Amino acid sequence: MDGILDWYVLGVVLGLGVAAGAAAVGTRRSPAWVAATVAAAVGALALTLLALPWWALAAFAGAAALAFVALRKLSPEAAPAAVLGAVVLAPIPALGYLAVVAVPVAGARLGRRAESRHAGLRVLAKD
């Protein structure tokens, strides 16, 4: 990691990791999500092989796993917006890093909302 360009490319790789993790959430629903996950992984692999040390692949895998765990409760309607948002933010300097930090916050908020959404139905189901 010699210059600013290396840090920029690492931010892009992390942003692609978030996009791959968000797309991996939808892989059970459609083969198109598998293609989106593979495309993000191939893009990150190419950038890493061209400009970064090998450990950047571990950073990509960590970002993808973090995004997958945080967004696993994402609704099918919101998944395209999450993937598109991550792909758009990835090439903008410093926003790839911000996406990695923002995903757990969004996932925690999503988890709180998902639990409270059907609370009344659980009460009715006990009868």
pLDDT in tens, the chain (127 residues): 677 887 888 888 888 888 888 888 877 777 888 888 888 888 888 888 888 888 888 988 998 898 888 888 777 777 788 888 888 887 887 887 888 888 888 877 776 655 555 555 555 555 5
Boundaries of every domain in the chain: 4-125
> Locate tokens 């919101």: which residue?
78
Cα–Cα distance, 89 to 67 (Å, whole number):
14
Q: Which residues contact 83 (CB under 8 A, 6 or more apart)?
A: 19, 22, 23, 26, 36
Q: What is the model's pLDDT at position 18?
A: 86
**Average pLDDT over the chain, rounded to an integer:** 79
Tens of pLDDT, residue by residue over 93-107, are 788 788 888 888 887
R_g of the chain, CA atoms, integer Å: 16
DSSP 20-58: HHHHHHTTTT-HHHHHHHHHHHHHHHHHHHHHS-THHHH
Residues in the chain, total: 127
Tell me the three state secondary structure of residue 63.
helix
